[in-house]
Every structure is written in C-alpha cells, then in structure tokens.
C-alpha cells in the first residue's frame, strides 16, 4: 500500500468499483473540488489495483470531497472482490491512533472495506449515513406516470396544469449559456438557499461545467427562464445535483415541473435511472424514487 500526496498518476483515472456513482469519485470532479474546496493534506491510498483519494485534517483522515457536496464516495479500480485486501492494506498503513471517517459509501463497498479493516485489527462496522434517492426509468413517460401512486400521479398532473395555465407550455434548453440565470435564481431565493451561491460557490459550479457529463438545463416558457437544473449524465443515468427557480414564478409550481420535464427527458434519452442524489426531501419519493442507503466507516487505527 502506498499512501502519498501525488494525484498526477493514472490511479485517479480508474473506474469506480461500484456502479452508478456519477462523477463524484472521479478525477474531473475531485480536481475541481480540490481547486476550490480542498484543504488539509491531500493523499492517495493505492495498492496497485484499488485507489482512494483522501484528505488529512485536524480531525483525522476522510475521503476527498466534503460530504455536503460529494454525493457518492467510492474507491477506484479493481472490483468488489479486491476491496477486502485494499481495506486490510489501508488499515495497516494508517499510523496507530489515526482517526478516520469514510462516508457516503454504497453498501456493496462499505461491507468489504470494513471486513478488510477488521483483518488489519481496525474494528469498524458500516453505519447508516444518508441515502440517495433513485428512480428506475421505464421505456416511456406514460408508463412512468402509471407506475406512481394514484395520489402522486394526480398531484404531478395538477401541478403541470397549474404551470401551463399560468405560464404556457414549458420546454428544456440545455447548455452552459444558462449558468448566469442558474446563479441568479439561487441568489434571488430566500433563506439559506439564497445565501448558498456566493462567489466562491459560483466559481466551483462554473468549473464543474467542464466535468465530463455536466449538464445545465433551463426550464423555459415564453422566452423566459423559469427554473434551472445542474446535473450530470452518463450512458445510463441522469444525476440531479442542484436546482433553483425564479421566485417570481413560485406559485406556478416550477420546481415540480422542472423535475417532471427532466425525468421525461431522461426517459426520452434512453436513461435507465434518474438519481436525485442525497437527501430525504419528500418530493423525491412522491415522484417514484426509492432510497439507496449509504454508509460510513468511522473509527481509529
């Protein structure tokens, strides 16, 4: 096991061990995070097959990418069968007494990592952390609607009618040109959401537009941008990372209409999954999502 601070090698270009974890464990996302948010000593644990980018701070070692902005953490390279050996090597490489917190891990990753750490004498068990909300997509939009509970299906249709009655028929326009509108929608919001998109955070999101699969979408109506979504996509999955709407149109249900149109677009694009990512907001489950549990391994070497 090599535990070093060099991220320039090919280890960060390996594929994540777990499926459907988006850009978050990959080099592109982490390099943007590093440029804007990275603090402490950045490390890479690499046993030649599996690698995991880490950060050492005052509280110990964590996975690179703060958990509030990084929806999935996952080792890179190898396969699930290699994680026990990697966990054991990692446990042996840590200085005795070093505290660690490995968060946002899918269950299929957390269990063998914990087994490997235990083999190195580091007793730790996967603990529930948060959950992503994921929606399996059918082949067409009407089948999607038909699979919802009657009450939820009626509510989506009611809010779509409210939107069209107030503003007209919506459509999505995607591309980086909508970034300014996305930022202004955030800043026009009340409370913490309005305070979230400061200059530093806006710079972080702007640089994320250069990550493979990044997709900024505006919900347009009559030439006006009503809502915006910042997401990522790969061959099979759309990941909804962040969204906002113009509060002037709040009474027309722009948030639900935006997500509804994003789901329809994902189905039309042949996606098999729509990932709402972390968070237990009720609207996600009313729109058909189910939890994907994530786990944390926390302890001391």
Confidence (pLDDT) at 100: 97
- Going from the C-alpha of 197 to that of each of 19, 150, 201, 226, 249, the distances in angstroms are 30, 37, 5, 18, 20
**Mean pLDDT in order along the chain per 10 residues (301 residues):** 94 98 98 92 96 94 96 96 97 96 98 98 95 98 97 96 96 96 95 90 98 98 95 98 96 97 98 98 97 98 92
**Alpha carbons 163 and 216: distance in angstroms, whole number:** 21
DSSP 79: -
Residue 175 in tokens: 């591309």
CA–chain centroid gap for 163, Å, is 28
CATH number of this structure's domain 138-271, picked from the four choices 3.30.70.1350, 3.40.630.30, 3.40.50.720, 3.40.190.10: 3.40.630.30
Q: Do β-strands 60-63 and 273-278 pair in parallel, antiparallel, or remain unpaired? A: unpaired
**Alpha carbons 170 and 159: distance in angstroms, whole number:** 12
Residue 142 in tokens: 């009407």
**Alpha carbons 183 and 199: distance in angstroms, whole number:** 10
**Alpha carbons 75 and 24: distance in angstroms, whole number:** 11
Confidence (pLDDT) at 286: 97
Confidence (pLDDT) at 107: 97
Confidence (pLDDT) at 39: 82
Contact 32, 207 (CB under 8 A): yes
Confidence (pLDDT) at 140: 98
Q: Which element (helix H / strand E) includes 299?
A: strand 290-300
Confidence (pLDDT) at 193: 85
- Which residues, 6 or more positions from 225, have their beta carbon under 8 angstroms from its beta carbon? 178, 181, 185, 218, 219, 246
pTM for the model stands at: 0.96
Could you state, in order of their start, the residue ranges of all structural domains in the chain? 2-131+293-300, 138-271
Confidence (pLDDT) at 190: 87
């Amino acid at each position: 096991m090599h535990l070093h601070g060099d991220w320039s090698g090919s280890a960060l270009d390996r594929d994540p061990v777990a499926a459907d974890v988006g850009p978050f464990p990959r080099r592109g996302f982490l390099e943007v995070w590093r440029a804007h948010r990275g603090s402490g000593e950045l490390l890479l644990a690499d046993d030649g097959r599996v690698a995991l980018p880490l950060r050492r701070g005052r509280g110990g070692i964590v996975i690179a990418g703060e958990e509030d902005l990084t929806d999935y953490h996952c080792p890179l390279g190898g396969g699930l069968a290699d994680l026990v050996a990697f966990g054991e090597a990692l446990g042996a490489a840590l200085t005795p007494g070093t505290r660690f917190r490995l968060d946002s891990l899918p269950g299929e990753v957390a269990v063998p990592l914990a087994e490997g750490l235990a083999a190195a004498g580091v007793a730790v068990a996967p603990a529930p952390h948060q959950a992503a909300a994921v929606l399996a997509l059918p082949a067409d939009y009407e089948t999607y609607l038909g699979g919802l509970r009657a009450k939820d299906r009626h509510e989506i249709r009611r809010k779509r009618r409210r939107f069209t009655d107030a503003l007209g028929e919506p459509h999505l326009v995607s591309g980086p040109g909508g970034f300014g509108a996305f930022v202004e929608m955030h800043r026009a919001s009340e409370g913490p959401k309005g305070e979230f998109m400061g200059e530093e955070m806006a710079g972080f999101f702007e640089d994320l537009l250069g990550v493979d699969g990044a997709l900024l979408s505006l919900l347009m109506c009559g030439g006006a941008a009503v809502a915006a979504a910042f997401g990522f996509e790969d061959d099979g999955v759309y990941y909804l990372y962040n969204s906002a709407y113009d509060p002037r149109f709040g009474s027309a249900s722009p948030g639900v209409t935006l997500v509804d149109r994003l789901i329809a677009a994902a189905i039309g694009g042949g996606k098999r999954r729509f990932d709402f990512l972390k968070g237990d907001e009720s609207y996600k489950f009313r729109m058909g999502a189910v939890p994907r549990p994530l786990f944390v391994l926390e302890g001391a070497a």
